[in-house]
A = this chain, B = another copy of it.
Amino acid sequence: MELHISQMAEKLPRYEQIRHLLQQELAKQSWPVGGTLPSEQILAETYGVSIGTIRKAVDLLVRDGLLEKVQGKGTFVKYPDFTSSLTRFFRHRNKAGQAIIPTGRVEKLAAVDGNGEINAFLGRAEHEPLIYIERTRRLDGSVIVSEKIWLPREPFAALLELKPAQFDDLLYPLYIKQCGQLILSAREQLTFLPRYTDDYLPIGDGGAAVKIRRLAYGINGEILEYRESYGKAVDFCYETVIA
C-alpha cells in the first residue's frame, strides 16, 4: 500500500513530510498512548520509503519527546509526561530546594478583545481576539503564585465552554485534550519587582516579588501562550539547565 507522498509537491525532504504525517496520526490518536507504532519495516512499506527515511522521521519525533524507541520492543507513543513538564515549567522550589507541587485554580476566564501589546507577544496581528485567564497556585491553601494568561482565541475557543472548576492543576494537558494544542517548549524571563501588589497573592502592602514572563511554543514553533506569573521574592527558587 504505497501512498506516494510526493503528491504533496513540497520541497521538504521526505523524512520531514513523514514526520508531519506521523504527527497528524499522533494528534488523531491513531495509536494508543503508551502503545507501539507499527514497526519501522511496516511504516516503510506503508509510506513507500526506505527504512532509513522512516528512522530519520521517527528520530525527529523522539527528539521532540513524542515517541520513545526501545530496542527489541518497538517505538512507543509517549505523549508528553506532564508530571515532568510540571517540573520543567514550574520551577519554584522551597528553601530546601525540594520541588513544590501546588494546586491550580482558575479565578477568572474570559474572551477579550485583541490587545496590541499581547498580540505582539503572541506574534499575531494587532486585533486578534484573545482568551484571558487569571489563575492562582496554592500550597496548603495559601496562594504562592498568581498568574495572568493570554491565549489566541482561535485554537483555544473550546476552553471558554469550561467552568473554572473543570480546569485541572495543570493547564497543558487541558490544552491538548480540549484543543489539540501541544506545548513543547517555552522561553521565560525573570525580573524582580521591589514593590508589588496583587489581587490574590498575599504579599503585604507592596512587598518584593518575582515576575516570570513565559512564551510557550507549539510543535511547529508557533507561540501558543503568553503568561505572567508573580510570586513572593522570598519564597523564590528557580532552576534551569543551559544546553
Contacts and interface: CB of A to CB of B under 8 A. Distances in A.
Interface in A202-243: 208, 210, 233-234, 236-243
Oligomer copy total: 2
B208 A241 contact: no
A243 B185 contact: yes
A189 interface: yes
Nearest to A208: B208
Chain B CB within 10 Å — which of A89, A187, A188, A191 has the most?
A: A191
B185 A241 contact: yes
A210 to B, nearest CB: 7
Nearest to A241: B187
B188 A242 contact: yes
A69 B97 CA distance: 41
A186 B233 contact: no
A20 interface: no
A108 interface: no
A194 B188 CA distance: 23
Contacts of A95: 191
Interface of A: 88-89, 95, 97, 185-192, 194, 208, 210, 233-234, 236-243
Given A186-B242, A188-B240, 11 more contacts: A187-B242, A188-B242, A189-B239, A190-B237, A190-B239, A191-B236, A191-B237, A191-B238, A192-B192, A208-B208, A233-B233
